[in-house]
Amino acid sequence: MLIERWRHLLRQVERDNIDPWWPVTVITTLGFVGYANTFGHQFAFDDLVMMSNIGPPGTLVDSFGWLRLFGYFTFSLNWLLGGKTVFGYHLVNLIIHLLASWMVYQLALVTLTTPALRRSPLAKHRRWLSLLAGLIFLTHPVQTQAVTYIIQRFASLATLWYLLAVYLYARGRLTNQMWYLAGTLAAGLLGIFTKEIVATLPIMLVAYEWFFFGAVGVGTKTGARVAATSLKSWLKTTLSQRRVQLGLLVTVLPILLMVAGIFWLYHPSSIFLPQEQYTGEDITVTSYALTQPRVITRYLRLVFVPTGLNVDYDFPLSHSLTEPAVLAGLALIGGLLAAAAWLFRRHRLISFGIVWFLVAMLVESSVIPLKDVIFEHRLYLPMVGASTALAAGLTQLSLVLFRHRRQAMAMVVSVALVMLASYTTLTAARNQVWRNELSLWQDIAHKSPRDSRVHNNLGVAYKRLGQIELAKHHYYLSLEYDPDYTSSLSNLANIVSDEGDKKEAERLYRRALELDADRHDVRQNFAATLWNEGRYDEALAEFETILAADPDHEKALLGIELINRQRAGELRGPGERGSGEPRGSGAEGQQPVSRQPAQTSTESATTESAATTSGR
C-alpha cells in the first residue's frame, strides 16, 4: 500500500500534476503542526509594552505615531475582538505566516511562467518546485521568532505585502492589465506603513523586471559577462518600451516617494547617528557596517543549519576592516554576488534567490545603525529568496544527477520529505522555548552565558515567580559581567531593601543614577523605597526630578499626589491606603507607587517595566 502511494506520488511529481487545493491543505496542515503549540504562550518583551498602550484604532496615531501604523492597526483589531487574550494574537500571526508561505508558492509559480524561465527545465516541474519553496519558508525553524514573538508581526506582515506587490507586478507584466500594477502600488504602500524593510521594494521590482522580462536572449556568454551584457541590453531596449516605463512609473516611483517621505519623518541626520547599546557602547555607522558581514555569515549558517537559535545574541562589535572574521564575511558576500552572476544565464531562479536574499537585508544589515546588530526575525523577508533558491537548486541538482526524470523527482521528493519533517520538528521544539518568560530567558542564558542583560531579565522572571534567591543570583551574575549595569543595580536594590538592608539599597540606587540619571524607572524605584522608609521630602524630590524631564510621567504624578495626601492624613502610613485609594500598577509589590522591575530592552535604551526587543 505504501509503495503504491509512493509510486503514485512520484508519477504526480514527474507530470507536475497537482490538485489546486493540495498546496492550501499541505501549507495549512504543516503550519498548524509546527505552531499549534504556541497558542497559549505568554506575551514577552515588547509584547508587554505594546499591550499596555494598545487601544481603539482612533488612538493609534497618538500612541504610536504614523510609522508602522497599519501593523498597529492589526493589533488594535485583535484588542477589539479579544482584549488581551493571547490566543487571538498568536492565531493572527500564524495566519499571516500561512498567507506569506502561500504567496512564496504563488510568486515562484508565476515566475516560472515569465519569458526568461517558461522554457527552462524547471518550468516542467513548476508546481512542485513552487510548493517546495513555500513549504521551506513555512517550516524553517529560523522563522519562529517572526511568528511566535507576537510583536514581530511587523516583519511577517510587511513581508506578506512585499510578496503580494512583487506577485502582482509579475501578473501585470504577463497580462498587461493595469489593475495588477495598481495592486502592486497599494500593497507596497501598506507594506511601508507596516515596517521600513519594504523600502527595498523598488529595487526588487526593477531587479525582477531585469531578471525575468528584460534579459531573455543572452547568447552563450557565461558568468558576470552575461549579467553585464543583459543589463546593458535591458537598459537600451526593454527599458525604453512604453509598457515597461509605465509599469515601473506606476509602481516604483510612488513607493520611492513614500520611502523618501518616511526617511524625512525620521530626519535624515538622525538615522545615521550612533546608537547606544545596553552596555553603554556606541554603535556607529562604521562599527555597524563592519559587524554586518559577520552577522550575514551567521544568518547564512542558520539558513543551512538552523540550530542554536537565540533571541539575544552576545555579538561583539567589529571595529577594523582587517579583522579576519570581517574579511571572511566580506569574502562570503562577494562569493554570493559572484555566484549570482555566474548562475544568471543557466540558473536564473537560483541567481534571483541570492539577489533577493541580499537586497532584502539592505535596510537592517548595512550602514544604518540599530541598537542590536543581529536578530533572527530580520531573516524573515530574506528567507523568501533563500527558500526559492534552495527549492530550485535541489530540483536542478536532481535533474543533472539523474538522466531519467522519475529518478530525479524521486530524489527531490525524498530529500524534501526528510528536510520538511526535520524543519517542522525543530520548529515545534523551538516554539516550546517561547512558552513563558522563564523558559525563554533560561534558554538565552544557556546560549549567552556572559551577557549581563540576559541575567538581569532572567532575574526579573525569577522575581516574578517569588524565587528571590535565584533572582539575586542572576542579578549578581549580571553585575559580575558588567558592574555598571543600571537595571541590575536597581533590581538588586529592590531586593536588599525588602530584606531590610536600607543602606546597601540606597548605595545601589545612587550608583545606578550616577551612571544614568535619565533612567526614570530606576529613580521611581528609589523614590518608592524612600517613601516606604518615611523619607517623604527625599522621595518627593526624586519624583519632581522625574517630572522636570517628563511632565506627564503618570507614576511620578501619582507619587506626589499620594505623598501630599499622606501628609494631610488621608493615608494611614507608608505603603498603606484607605478604602478606594488608587493603586500602583507594578509587578513587585503593593506600594501606592510600586517599584518596577528594571528590565532592559534589546533595541531601546531604557524601559519602564518590561523586557523588550523592539519591533525594529
How does pLDDT run across 2-55, given as a tens digit for each residue? 666 655 555 665 556 677 788 999 999 999 999 999 999 999 877 888 888 888
Mean pLDDT of all residues belonging to the chain: 84
Task: Please name which of 90, 106, 218, 223 lies closest in space to residue 156, comparing C-alpha atoms.
Answer: 90
Q: Does residue 477 carry a pLDDT above 90?
A: yes
pLDDT at 249: 64
Residue type, 419: M
Q: Which residue has the higher pLDDT, 266 or 286?
A: 286
Q: Say how many C-beta atoms besides its own lie within 10 A of residue 70's C-beta.
A: 18
Query: CA-to-CA distance for 175 and 183, rounded, in angstroms?
Result: 14
What's the CA angle centered on 555, arms 553 and 557, to 5 degrees? 70
pLDDT of residue 582: 30
Distance CA 356, CA 349 (A): 10
**556 contacts 520 by C-beta, under 8 angstroms:** yes
Helices (H) and strands (E) in the chain, counts: 27, 2
> Which region among 102-106, 184-188, 466-470, 584-588 has the lowest average model confidence (pLDDT)?
584-588
Q: What separation in angstroms does the CA of 243 have from each of 174, 214, 240, 255, 574?
A: 11, 12, 9, 19, 76
Helix (H, G, I), strand (E, B) or coil at 610: coil
- Pairwise pLDDT comparison (575 vs 462), residue with the higher score: 462
- Mean per-residue pLDDT for 525-538? 88
DSSP state of 552: T
The CATH fold assigned to 449-567 is: 1.25.40
> Is residue 614 predicted with pLDDT exceeding 60?
no
Taking the complete model, does pTM exceed 0.75, yes or no? yes
CB 199 within 8 A of CB 363: yes
The whole-angstrom distance between residue 498's C-alpha and the CA centroid of its chain comes to 38
Closest CA to 49 of 605, 588, 601: 601
pLDDT number for residue 408: 67
Q: Mapping DSSP to helix (H, G, I), strand (E, B) and coil, where does residue 372 land? A: coil
Are the CB atoms for 13 and 413 separated by under 8 Å?
yes
CA atoms within a 13 Å half-sphere pointing along the CA-CB vector of 150:
30
The amino acid occupying position 595 is R
Provide the CB-side half-sphere exposure for 582 (13 A, CA). Answer: 16
pLDDT digits (tens, 9 = 90+) for 549-602: 999 888 889 988 888 888 777 666 554 433 333 323 333 333 334 455 565 443
Rounded (10°) angle between helices 536-549 and 554-567: 150
Helix, strand, coil percentages (3-state) for the chain, rounded to 5, are: 70, 0, 30
How far is residue 577 from each of residues 242, 544, 581, 592, measured CA to CA in Å? 76, 22, 6, 7
pLDDT computed for residue 404 by the predictor: 64
Three-class DSSP labels, 251-294: HHHHHHHHHHHHHHHHCHHHHCCCEECCCCCEECHHHHHHHHHH
Torsion angle (degrees, nearest 10) of CA 28, 29, 30, 34: 100
- 3 state SS of 240: helix
More confident call, 246 vs 328: 328
Kindly tell me if the per-residue pLDDT of 321 is higher than 80. yes
Predicted pLDDT of residue 591: 37
Q: Assign residue 586 a region (left: φ > 0; alpha: ψ between -120 and 50; beta: otherwise).
A: beta
Residue spans per domain, the chain: 29-433, 449-567
How far apart CA 268 and CA 271 sit, in angstroms, is 5
- At residue 230, φ and ψ (nearest 5 deg) are -65, -35
